[in-house]
Structure 1
Amino acid sequence: MNTPFLRLVAADIKNRFGNDLTEIAVVFNNKRPITYLKKHLADVYGQAIWSPQFFTIQEFFSLSTSANEASSLSQFFYLYQLHNELLQKEGHELETLEEFYPIAEIILSDFSQLDYDLVNIEHIYMELYDTSKIDLEFQHLTVEQQQFIRQFWQSFSIAGHTGVQQRFLKLWKRLPILYKAFKEKLQQEKQSNYPSIYRDLAEGRAERPHFIQNFKQVLFVGFNALNNAEAYLFKQWQEMGKALFYFDTDAYYLEDRQQEAGLFIRRNIYQTGLINALEASPNILAKKTTEVHLYAANGKVSQAKLLHDILENTESADKTSAILLADESLLVPLLQSLPDVVPNITTGYPLIQSPIFGILDLWMDVHKDISHLKKDKIPFQSVETFINHPLTKVSKKEKQQLQQYMADKQLYEVAIDDLTIKSSILPNFFKPIAKVEEVIPSLTDLIDRLLSSIAEQDRIRQIESNLLVETKKTLYQLKLGFDKIEPLSISFQIGLIKKAIAPVNSAIEGNPLKGLQIMGLLESRCLNFDNIYILGANEGILPKTSNSPTFLPHALRRAYGLPILENQDALSAYLFYRHFQYSEDIHVFYNSIVDENSTGEESRFIKQLEFESKFNFIKKTQQQAIFFPPSSTEITIEKKGKVWDTMYHTFIERGRRISATALTTYLQSPLQFFLKHVAEIKEPPSISQEFEMNKLGTVIHEVMEKILLPFKNINEFIPTERLKENLLDVDALIVREIGHQYMSDFKSLDDLNSLQRIMHKIASEYVKMYLQYDIENYKAFRIIELENDTDYTLDFPINVNGKIETVNLYGIIDRVDEVLTHDNQIKTRIVDYKTGGDRIIFKEIDKVFSANTENKALVQTLFYSYVFEQVTGRTNLEPHLYVARRMREDGTLFSGKSGLMEGAYLMEQKKNFVAFLKEILEEIFDVEVPFRHNPDAHIYENDPYTLFYRNTPTQQTDENLL
C-alpha cells in the first residue's frame, strides 16, 4: 500500500509542531479516523508525547455554545406544537402527530440545510408571484441564479393555482414564520441543534465566538464537501493563522475538471482559497497498474456469499482489510456470510433487520387490534410468530400444545382469552392495554424483560442489548413529548413509535486497528487499507439516483447553491476513487441481475476508471453451481384395462368436454392430466390464508364483464372515451364482487378483512389498467361476445386406434370484440385476461407447439380462437392477452421472432395449431403412449400432485388409481 494519508498527516504534524501538541486540535468529519491518526502519531514519533486534542467537526463547533443539544424527537415535538399554533391562527384544521411526522422530517431537514449553507430565510421563502420582481429583489445573485428562481415561480400558473399549488404556497408562506418560532423555542429551552450552532457561529451570534483562540492551531483533516458555513469559517480561521487543512487528494481528479471526484477539493482550494498543508497533490491514480477484481454476482445477497469464498482465499493477518458497503442494506447478509473472522463494524446494525424488531413490531400490531380496536381475537399467524420467536422462549411442550389446539379447531383467529402462555418470558404479551397512557410503559416493560433474559445467558449478546437500550432511550424521548400534549390514541402512538424507532442501530465494536473492518463508504473518509472489498457497486446505488425529500425545489436549490444530485455524485465519486489511490488488493462486487431494484450494471465510476486509467480490470462472473437431486423412479400409467375403459367411456362415449386448460395440463404433465381428468383425484382440502387469492382471477373477470356487458349487442362502434366513466365505479364493483365470492354482502372497504383488501387493491389496479389500455390504444370498440361459458363446444374428429372418433372441445370465451385503431384499422380480437406471470412474447413457435409448451397462454388463446371461429364462422381473430404486469411494455398481441401474430403469419400459425391440436389429442388416446410426468415441467411449490411426481415406485398396474 502507498503511504496512508493519515501517516502523511502525522509526519507533517511532527515536522511542524515538534513534540508538544497540547495546544493543537485535530478535527475530523467523524470519529473513526481518530484512532488511526493516534496510531500513526505513535509510529512517527516513536516515543511518548503530549497528545493533541481530537474532535469531530460537530463536537468542535459545539465548543461555541453552552446550550444542550436538542434531540431529534424534541425538535419534532417543538415543531409540531408551533406548526399547529400557526394553523390555528390561520383558521385551519390542526394536524395530528402522525400526519405531521413525515412533513416535520422534511421541514427540519430543509431548515438544517438552509442553516448550514447560510441561506437568507426571508429571501428563499419570499412569495414571488410577479417574476419581474426577481431582478429587483435578488440583484446580489448572478443572472443564472435569477433565471433558476424565475423558472421555479413560472411553474405556477398566472391564471390560477391548482389545489396542490395552493397548499404548497400556504405552507411556503408559513415556513419562515415557523422557522423563526422554532429558533426562539430552542433558545427558550436553552437548547440548540448543530445547524443553529453553525449559522450562529458564522453570522457572529455565537455565545463563545472566539473559542478557537483556546488552541494554538486547529488541523482540519480529510474534509471534502463543505457547506457555506464551514467554508466561511475555515477561510476566516485560515486568515487568522489558526487553521491548517489537510486534503486527501490526487492530481488525477484534482487537475482534470472533467473528473467529478475532484469537484469539492477544487472548490475548496481554488474558490474558497483554502491551502492544502500537504502542498502538491500526488499523481498516484494515473500511474497505477494494480489489478482490480470486478465480480458480477447473481443477485444482491449473492455478493456477500461470493465474498465469503474470496476472503477465505485472500485474507492475511499482516494486511489491513476493509469491507466497504456502497449499499448498507447488505450488512445483515454480509454478517451471515463472513468466514471465521472478527469484524469491527461501525456501520450500525439496524434494529429493523434484527429479531428484536420482529417481536416489537408484532407487539405493536397485536395491540393495534386488541387495545385500540378492542378486538377479542387475533390472527393465528400472530400467535405462531410469537411462540416461534427465539426471544419469547416459549417451552417446546407449550408450543406444541398451542399449535395442536389451533390446528384441531382450524382457528384462523384465536380468542385472546384462550392465550395463557405461561412459559414465555413475556406472559403479558397479549394482555390488552387499558389506558392510552400505558402504551410506552408497557412496551418499555417488554424491553426490560428482554434485557433481563439476555443478561441471564452465559454471554451477553452485545448487539441485541445495545439495540434494546437505544430503543428504550427513544421511547423515553417520545414519552417526554407525549406528556406535553393532549392524550393520543393508541393507534397514533404506535404509528409514531414505529417511525421513531426505525432509525435505531447499534455498532459492533471490535479492534479498529486489527482484523476486518466493515463500514459504509462515507465512514471510510481518511482511512486506507491494503485490501478493500466494495459491495453494492451498482449504478443507481453508487452514486444514488435520488435526493432526500425536500420542499425546496431543484431550481431554487440551484439558485441558492444548496446541495443537488450532482453534488452527491461528486462526493460518491471521491469516496470511491480515493481508495484506488492507496490499496493494492482491490475487489469490487455488484449485482448483475436486472430487477425492479437493480439495473444489473456496475457503477459508472468503475467504467470511467476502466477506460481512463491504467488499472487492470479482471472481470469475473459468478458461476452458480447446479444441484441435481438424486433421480427417483417415475410413476407411469399404461392405457389399458380400467384406465382405457374409463378414458373411452368418459371422453368418447359420454362426450366429456376437453378444455384449453386440460390441454395445457397435458402438455405440461401427462401424468397430471391423468390424475385430474381421468382418475379424477381432487386436490386435497387445505386451510390456508392464501387460498383466498385464488379468487382474484374470478373477481377480475366478473367485474370486467359487468363493466362491458352494457355495451354488448350494440352494433355501432363505441368511443373508448366512454370507458373513463367506468373507472370511477371499479372499486365499488370489486367490493361487491368480493362479497359475492365469499357469500357476503359487502358495501365498502371497511367490510373487507386484510387479505380481501389486498385482493381488492390488486384487482382494482388490474381492472383500471385494462380499461386505461383500451382508452389509450384504441379509438372505439364493439363487443361481440363476453364471458360465454355455454355456447362454444365443438366436435373434433381424431384417429383412435385406427378408427375416427369424436372428442368434444370446449372454450370459455372471456371477450371477443372489434376495435378501431388510431390509424382507422378495424381488428377483431379474442381477449384473455391473465393475473399471473404469463407473457405475450415467445421465442420459437415450434417450442410453443410442443410438450411442456413455452407459452401455454398462447396455446389456450389459439384454442379459444379456433373453437369460436368454427362455431360462429367468423375469421381473422387476433389473439390478445391482457397481462397487467407487462402490457404497458409489451402490448397485448402475441409476438415471436417472426413478428406479431397477425395477418398472413397468424393464419399460417392457426393452421399449424390445428394440426398440433389433432396430434396431441390423438396422443392422449394413443394406447402405446403411457401417462408419465414431464421431468422438464415447472412445478409450483404448492402443487398438490407433487407427491406423484417424485419418490414414487414405478406403477405398472392401474386398478388402485381408479
Structure 2
Amino acid sequence: MTTFIFDVLKDLKNSTQSFSELTFIVPSKRAGLFLKHQLPQVLNQTIFSPEIISIEEFVGQLSQLKTISNTELLFEFYHSYSQLTKPQKRDSFDTFTKWAQILLQDFNEIDRYLIPQKKIFNYLGAIQDLNHWSLEINKTDFVKNYLSFWNKLYSYYEHFHEALLAKGLGYQGLVYREAVENLESYIQNNSKKQHVFLGFNALNTSESTIIQELLQNEMAKVYWDIDAEFFNNKNHDAGLFTRQYKNNWKHFKTHPFNWVTKHYSEEKNISVFGIPKNIGQAKYIGSILKKLQGNNPSLQNTAVVLGDENLLVPVLNSIPPNVDALNITMGFPLKSIPLATLFESLFLLHKHSPTTFYYKDVVKIISHQFIKPLFFVENIDYSSIIAETIDHNNLVYLKKEKLNEIAPKSENIIDLLFSKWGMSVENTLENCTNLILLIKQHLDKNKTANLLALEYLYRFSTLFKEISRLNSEHPYIDNVSTLHGIYKELLSSETLDFQGEPLQGLQIMGMLESRVLDFETVIISSVNEGILPSGKTQNSFIPFDVKLENQLPTYKEKDAVYTYHFYRLLQRAKNMYILYNTEADVLTGGEKSRFITQLELEGKHQINHKILAPNVPVIPAKLECIKKTPDLQKKLIALAGKGFSPSSLTNYVRNPIDFYFQSILKIREHNDVEETVAANTLGTVVHNTLEDFYKPLTGTILTIETIKQLKTNIEERVTYHFKNEYKQGDISTGKNLIIFEIAKRYVSNFLKLEMQALKAGNEIKILAIEADNKIEIHIPELDFPIKLKGKVDRVDECNGTIRIIDYKTGKVEQNQVEIVDWQDITTDYKKHSKSFQVLCYAYMMQASQNLKFPIEAGIISFKNLSSGFLKFAQKESSSSRKKDSLITQNTLLDFEAELKKLIIEICNPNIDFIEKQV
C-alpha cells in the first residue's frame, strides 16, 4: 500500500524545489519520524536532510516563548491573582487550584482562537449580572464578591499575560497568539524559505492564520488528507474542517486543493466485535494478533489504536510472546505505577497530621512491595511481626512509639514513614526524597534484577524535585493537603516512556498519535459512546452560546475531530478490527459508538459484526473427597486417643471436610483485628464472667443475698474480661460501647432470672462450674481407645433434680433441643446440633460422676432468657405436644448407640471424608 506521506513526497519530487531547502511541518513528532524514514524511498541521490518539525515546535520558534507545564502555570497565575485580590477576599492556594484549572483552559482557547480578550471577559461579567442579580437593589456581600470575580477576569488575564511575557514563558494559547504577532517579522526575514504543511485537519484560528499568510506569500504548500466520500458529503463530520478551508481560504480560489483521494471506496475487510469488559477486549486483541502472525510473523504495517489508553497494560500482557519488534508511542502513566500507591497512602495518612494511625493504613504501608524489604533486619521480618502483633493484641489504632516498641531495629524506617511529617510541606518533601533514597539503596544491591523499579524511583525523585523547585520559587503550598493536590496534578501528566523500534513491527498508539500515519491492518479498541467520541462534555466558564458566537470549539467540533481520525484510519487500511465494550460500566461502555452505526448505515463496505463472549468452560461442581490413607488413619487414631469434643463431632455432622481441616489438619481461620467486638468475643466475656461469679459457690446452695452481692461486681468483672479478650481494642465509644453494655445486661438479666427462681421457692445448689470431662468409650468394632472430652458450663441441682446447663449468647428456641427420631441426631445438623451437644455433656457427666437419674440437660439462651432453661426433650412425633424432658438411663443408651455409630463412621478407613453440598 502507498501511504499519504509517500504520495506527498512523490508530488514534491516532481516539482523543481530542492528537498534540502524545505521545512516540513507535521502534526506530531512521530509523523516526522515516519516522513524521514520514507524520504530515501522517494529520492535516488544523497541530500542534506530537510528540516522536519512538529507544529508545536514551529509555533514555538515563531513566538520565541518557552512553554511551561500546567502545574507551573497555576503558581504563576496565583501570583497574578494575589496581586489583584485583597488578602481578606483571597482564596487559599488549595481552593484556587480547583477553579483556576478551568479558567486557564478558557485562557488557552481564547488565545488559540485569537478572540478579543477584553470583549469576551466583559461579556461574561455582564451575562452573570444580567442572569442573576441585575434586578436586586441591595446586593449582599456574597453577590458583590461573585460579580466582582467575573468583572475582574480581564484584569487577571492581562496581569497574568504580561507577567509570563516578561519571563519569556507561555502556555499553548499564548504561544500561538504571540506566534501570529511575530508572523510578519518572520515572513520578512525568511522570504525564501519554503514550508510544507501536511496531514492537518482541525486548525485553530492561530494555525489557520499562520498557514494562510505563508500561502499568500508563496512560502508554503499544504497537503490535506481527505477522501471524496467525506469531503463531498456535507453531512459527514470527517470532512467538516477541510470543507470549510476549501470554501473560505482565499488561496484555494486560485490554487488547487491537494488532495481529495478515493481510497475509502476500495475493498476492505471490516470486522466489528462487541466484547464484554475492557479486559475482554485486551485478550481478544491478543487473539487477533496471533491469527495475523500466520501471514505476517513480524506484524509489520499493523497498528493497535487504543481508544481508552487505560488498556495499555492489559494489551501488553496479551500480546503473543513471539512478537519481536514492538513500539509503544503512548507513555505509561506514572499514576499507574506501584510506587504511586505508596505515596498516595502516605499523603492520605499524614494530610491531617494524626498522632495515632489506623491499623489498616499501617499494614498497607509496611506491606507495600517497596517498603516490606526495608523492614527485613538481621534475617527478621519486622513488617510481619508488626502485622501479627496488631492481630494478636487487637490494635485498631497505633502510635509511632508502639511501632518502635514492636520493631526496635526498624526505628529509622518507622520514623521516616510515621513521624516528622506534621503539616510542614518542607518536612513532607524531605521525607519523600529520603524514602526514595532508602529504597534505592536496597535496590542497588541487585541492580540487574531491579532496573525497572530503579527507573520508577528516578521518575518519582524528579517529580518531587520539581515540586520542591516550584515551592521554593512560589511559596504558596502551606499544608500537606495542598501539597497532595499539586502532587496528583503533576502525577497525572507524567508518563514513563517506552523505548522500542519506531519503524518496525507492531505499533501501539492512542488515537491522536495515529495522525498522518497509514497502516494496512488496524485494530481499534473501546469504540464506545463517551470514549470515541467523548460526547457532550464541557469544562469551561464560557457558556455554549458565547462559544458559538465567538467561533470557539464546542463538543460538536471535538466530535468532528475524532470522526476524522477514525475514518482516516480506514481510508488506506485493508483490514480493520473494531472492538467495543458491551457491558454497561459505571462511566463508560455498554453503548457502541455512533461511528459503528454510521459505518453500517453507509453501506459502502460489508461489515462483519459479531458479539463475542469469553469461552468459559463449564466445570461441573465436584464435591471434595479426602481418601483415608494409612497416614491419615494414624492421625485419626491419635485424635481419638486425645478425645473427640462435642463441637468437633457436630462439625463432622455439618460437613466432614470441615472436620478434616479443623480437627485433623488443625487449620484455623485467621483472626483479623476486631474493630467491632465479635459475637464469639462477647460470648467468651459472658461465660468467663459467670465462671468468676459461680466457681467460688461450688457445693453451696444459692441465696438471694448471694446473687445481690454478685450483681455489684458486674461492671468490674465484665470490664476485666473485655480487656483480657479484646486486648487493646477500644470499648469506650461507638458500637463497642454498646456491646460492652449488652454484655453487662446479659449477666445482669441472668442473675435477675436466678433471683426470680429463688424467690419462687426453688432450691438451687451449684455442683460444678466449667467442669472438665474426659471419658473413654468402649466400641468393640474399633481396636483402639476412643475418648470423649468437653467442658460443661454449669451443673446444678434444682429441687433435687440435677441439671446440666450450656450457655449460649445467641438465640436458641425450645424446638432446637427436642428430638423425635434418634437417627436424626447425627444426620441433621441444623435441627439437632444443640440436642447432640447437651446430650454429650449429660453422657460424659453421668459416666464420670455417676449422677443419679433422672437428670435434665439443656441450654440457657441469653437472647431468649424469658424462656428460662430450655430442656432437652424427647417427643413421640413432630406434631405431638407430649414430650419427656427427663433424661434416664434409657435415654443415654439410645444416645450412646447413635454416638458410637457416628464415631465408627469417622474412624472407618473405608469411608472417606466427602464434602457435603451446603
Aligned length: 684
Query: What secondary structure sits across from 1:600 in the alignment?
Result: coil
- Where in structure 2 are the equivalents of 1:180-199 lying within 5 Å? 180-199=158-177
Structure-2 separation of matches of 1:689 and 1:120: 64
* 1:184-242 alpha-carbon deviations (Å, 9 max, x no partner): 1112323233321211232x357954377165211111111111111122112111111
Q: 2:213 aligns with which of 236, 247, 257?
A: 236
Shift of the alpha carbon at 1:536?
1.1
Structure 1: which 5+ residue stretches go unaligned? 132-148, 636-645, 647-668, 676-682, 696-736, 746-792, 802-917, 919-947
Structure-1 separation of matches of 2:197 and 2:621: 64
Query: What secondary structure sits across from 2:310 in the alignment?
Result: helix
Q: Is the 8 A contact 1:547 1:564 kept in 2?
A: no
Query: What secondary structure sits across from 2:222 in the alignment?
Result: strand
Are residue 114 (structure 1) and residue 95 (structure 2) matched? no
Structure-2 separation of matches of 1:623 and 1:256: 39
Structure-2 separation of matches of 1:8 and 1:541: 32
Which residue in 2 is equivalent to 1:61? 59
Q: Is the 8 A contact 2:529 2:591 kept in 1?
A: yes
Which residue in 2 is equivalent to 1:663? none
Which residue in 2 is equivalent to 1:402? 383
Q: 2:468 aligns with which of 476, 479, 487?
A: 479
Structure-1 separation of matches of 2:607 and 2:619: 34
The 10-residue stretch of structure 1 (154-163 or 585-594) with the greater mean CA deviation from structure 2? 154-163
- Where in structure 2 are the equivalents of 1:329-408 lying within 5 Å? 329-340=310-321, 341=323, 342-368=325-351, 372-375=353-356, 377=357, 379-390=359-370, 393-394=373-374, 395=376, 400-408=381-389
1:99 maps to a residue whose letter is T
Shift of the alpha carbon at 1:108?
1.2
Structure-2 separation of matches of 1:486 and 1:292: 55
Which residue in 2 is equivalent to 1:103? 99
- Where in structure 2 are the equivalents of 1:313-332 lying within 5 Å? 313-315=291-293, 316=296, 317=298, 319-332=300-313
Structure-2 separation of matches of 1:393 and 1:566: 53
Structure-2 separation of matches of 1:162 and 1:301: 54
Which residue in 1 is equivalent to 2:21? 23
Which residue in 2 is equivalent to 1:299? 277
Which residue in 2 is equivalent to 1:761? none
Structure-1 separation of matches of 2:494 and 2:125: 43
Query: What secondary structure sits across from 2:329 in the alignment?
Result: strand
Q: Is the 8 A contact 1:467 1:504 kept in 2?
A: no
Pick the structure with greater CA Rg.
2
Query: What secondary structure sits across from 2:493 in the alignment?
Result: coil
Which residue in 1 is equivalent to 2:603? 613
Shift of the alpha carbon at 1:558?
1.7
Task: From the superposition, tell whether residues 373 and 424 of structure 1 become closer, same or farther in structure 2 (CA, over 3 Å).
Answer: closer
Which residue in 2 is equivalent to 1:74? 72
Q: 1:269 aligns with which of 246, 254, 260?
A: 246
* 1:680-715 alpha-carbon deviations (Å, 9 max, x no partner): xxx9986546976999xxxxxxxxxxxxxxxxxxxx
Task: From the superposition, tell whether residues 396 and 487 of structure 1 become closer, same or farther in structure 2 (CA, over 3 Å).
Answer: closer
Which residue in 2 is equivalent to 1:654? none
Q: 1:443 aligns with which of 432, 437, 461?
A: 432
Are residue 176 (structure 1) and residue 154 (structure 2) matched? yes
Which residue in 2 is equivalent to 1:545? 535
Structure-1 separation of matches of 2:361 and 2:214: 62
Identical positions, percent: 24
Structure-1 separation of matches of 2:164 and 2:483: 24
Shift of the alpha carbon at 1:159?
5.2
Structure-2 separation of matches of 1:212 and 1:527: 33
Shift of the alpha carbon at 1:295?
2.0
Which residue in 2 is equivalent to 1:88? 86
* 1:416-436 alpha-carbon deviations (Å, 9 max, x no partner): 424556599999444534754
Structure-2 separation of matches of 1:196 and 1:689: 57
Task: From the superposition, tell whether residues 626 and 125 of structure 1 become closer, same or farther in structure 2 (CA, over 3 Å).
Answer: same
Q: Is the 8 A contact 1:332 1:353 kept in 2?
A: no
Shift of the alpha carbon at 1:114?
0.5
Q: Is the 8 A contact 1:251 1:283 kept in 2?
A: yes
Task: From the superposition, tell whether residues 692 and 103 of structure 1 become closer, same or farther in structure 2 (CA, over 3 Å).
Answer: farther
Shift of the alpha carbon at 1:545?
1.9
Q: Is the 8 A contact 1:65 1:208 kept in 2?
A: no
* 1:267-324 alpha-carbon deviations (Å, 9 max, x no partner): 2222235659773411222x23322122222211221112112212213226311110
Shift of the alpha carbon at 1:7?
0.9
- Where in structure 2 are the equivalents of 1:562-641 lying within 5 Å? 562-620=552-610, 621-626=612-617, 628=619, 631-633=622-624
Task: From the superposition, tell whether residues 423 and 229 of structure 1 become closer, same or farther in structure 2 (CA, over 3 Å).
Answer: same
Are residue 742 (structure 1) and residue 736 (structure 2) matched? yes
Task: From the superposition, tell whether residues 156 and 430 of structure 1 become closer, same or farther in structure 2 (CA, over 3 Å).
Answer: same
1:336 maps to a residue whose letter is N
Query: What secondary structure sits across from 2:152 in the alignment?
Result: helix
1:103 maps to a residue whose letter is W
- Where in structure 2 are the equivalents of 1:114-153 lying within 5 Å? 114-127=110-123
Q: Is the 8 A contact 1:536 1:589 kept in 2?
A: yes
- Where in structure 2 are the equivalents of 1:636-675 lying within 5 Å? none
Which residue in 2 is equivalent to 1:288? 266
* 1:650-705 alpha-carbon deviations (Å, 9 max, x no partner): xxxxxxxxxxxxxxxxxxx9989x99xxxxxxx9986546976999xxxxxxxxxx
1:432 maps to a residue whose letter is K
1:234 maps to a residue whose letter is I
TM value normalised by structure 2: 0.65
Shift of the alpha carbon at 1:82?
1.7
Structure-1 separation of matches of 2:388 and 2:360: 10
Structure-2 separation of matches of 1:63 and 1:537: 37
Which residue in 1 is equivalent to 2:193? 216
Query: What secondary structure sits across from 2:343 in the alignment?
Result: helix
1:326 maps to a residue whose letter is G
* 1:865-887 alpha-carbon deviations (Å, 9 max, x no partner): xxxxxxxxxxxxxxxxxxxxxxx
- Where in structure 2 are the equivalents of 1:537-936 lying within 5 Å? 537-547=527-537, 549-620=539-610, 621-626=612-617, 628=619, 631-633=622-624, 687-688=671-672, 740-743=734-737
Q: 1:36 aligns with which of 28, 34, 41?
A: 34
Query: What secondary structure sits across from 1:22 in the alignment?
Result: helix
Task: From the superposition, tell whether residues 49 and 73 of structure 1 become closer, same or farther in structure 2 (CA, over 3 Å).
Answer: same
Q: Is the 8 A contact 1:292 1:586 kept in 2?
A: yes
Query: What secondary structure sits across from 2:552 in the alignment?
Result: coil
Q: Is the 8 A contact 1:467 1:505 kept in 2?
A: no
Q: Is the 8 A contact 2:359 2:390 kept in 1?
A: no
Task: From the superposition, tell whether residues 366 and 381 of structure 1 become closer, same or farther in structure 2 (CA, over 3 Å).
Answer: closer
Task: From the superposition, tell whether residues 168 and 252 of structure 1 become closer, same or farther in structure 2 (CA, over 3 Å).
Answer: farther
Are residue 528 (structure 1) and residue 518 (structure 2) matched? yes
Query: What secondary structure sits across from 2:373 in the alignment?
Result: coil
Task: From the superposition, tell whether residues 691 and 600 of structure 1 become closer, same or farther in structure 2 (CA, over 3 Å).
Answer: farther
Q: Is the 8 A contact 1:66 1:207 kept in 2?
A: no
Task: From the superposition, tell whether residues 331 and 155 of structure 1 become closer, same or farther in structure 2 (CA, over 3 Å).
Answer: farther
Structure-2 separation of matches of 1:500 and 1:357: 12
Q: Is the 8 A contact 1:543 1:572 kept in 2?
A: yes
Q: Is the 8 A contact 2:26 2:199 kept in 1?
A: yes
* 1:914-952 alpha-carbon deviations (Å, 9 max, x no partner): xxxx9xxxxxxxxxxxxxxxxxxxxxxxxxxxxx9xxx9
Q: Is the 8 A contact 1:463 1:506 kept in 2?
A: no
Q: Is the 8 A contact 1:471 1:504 kept in 2?
A: no
* 1:701-754 alpha-carbon deviations (Å, 9 max, x no partner): xxxxxxxxxxxxxxxxxxxxxxxxxxxxxxxxxxxx996523279xxxxxxxxx
- Where in structure 2 are the equivalents of 1:415-430 lying within 5 Å? 415-418=402-405, 419=407, 428-430=416-418
Structure-1 separation of matches of 2:555 and 2:417: 46
Shift of the alpha carbon at 1:467?
4.9
2:244 maps to a residue whose letter is R
1:236 maps to a residue whose letter is E
Structure 2: which 5+ residue stretches go unaligned? 627-645, 647-652, 660-666, 680-730, 740-812, 822-878, 880-905
